[in-house]
Amino acid sequence: MNEIVRGVTAADALLGAAEFEAAIRAVGAERYHDKHPFHKLLHGGKLSKGQVQAWALNRYCYQSAVPRKDAALMSRTLDRELRREWIHRIMDHDGIDDEHGGIERWLVLTDALGLDRDYVISMEGALPATRFAVEAYVRFVVEQPLTVAVASSLTELFAPAIHRERIAGMLENYPFVNDEVMAYFKRRLTQAPRDADFALEYIKANARTREEQEACINAVRFKCNVLWAQLDALHNAYVEPGLIPPGAFRPNA
Is 235 among the residues that bind ligand PQQ (CB under 6 A)?
no
CA 208 to chain centre: 26
Question: At residue 42, what is the residue type?
Answer: L
C-beta of 94 vs 156, nearer to ligand PQQ: 156
Q: How far apart are CA 154 and CA 227, in angstroms?
A: 12
Is 68 among the residues that bind ligand PQQ (CB under 6 A)?
no
Q: How far apart are CA 88 and CA 96, in angstroms?
A: 10
Cβ neighbour number for residue 190 with a 10 Å cutoff: 9
User: Do the Cβ atoms of 79 and 198 come closer than 8 Å?
Assistant: no
Choose, by CB under 6 A, the member of 73, 188, 213, 238 that binds ligand PQQ.
188
C-beta of 168 vs 243, nearer to ligand PQQ: 168
C-beta of 86 vs 249, nearer to ligand PQQ: 86
Rg for the chain, CA atoms, rounded: 18
Question: At residue 103, what is the residue type?
Answer: I
Minimum gap (Å) between residue 153 Cβ and ligand PQQ: 4
CB-nearest residue to ligand PQQ: 155
C-beta of 66 vs 207, nearer to ligand PQQ: 66
The residue count for binding ligand PQQ (CB under 6 A) is 9
Is 36 among the residues that bind ligand PQQ (CB under 6 A)?
no
Q: How far apart are CA 253 and CA 250, in angstroms?
A: 9
Is 230 among the residues that bind ligand PQQ (CB under 6 A)?
no
Q: How far apart are CA 70 and CA 213, in angstroms?
A: 21
Is 56 among the residues that bind ligand PQQ (CB under 6 A)?
no
Is 94 among the residues that bind ligand PQQ (CB under 6 A)?
no
Minimum gap (Å) between residue 157 Cβ and ligand PQQ: 8
C-beta of 12 vs 201, nearer to ligand PQQ: 201
Q: Which of 134, 166, 139, 147 is nearest to 57 (CA)?
A: 134
In the stretch 138-177, what mask flags binding to ligand PQQ with x, by CB under 6 A? ---------------x-xx--x--xx--------------
User: Do the Cβ atoms of 196 and 157 come closer than 8 Å?
Assistant: yes
- How does DSSP classify residue 36? S
SS3 96: strand
Give the interface with ligand PQQ as residue ranges (CB under 6 A): 66, 153, 155-156, 159, 162-163, 188, 227
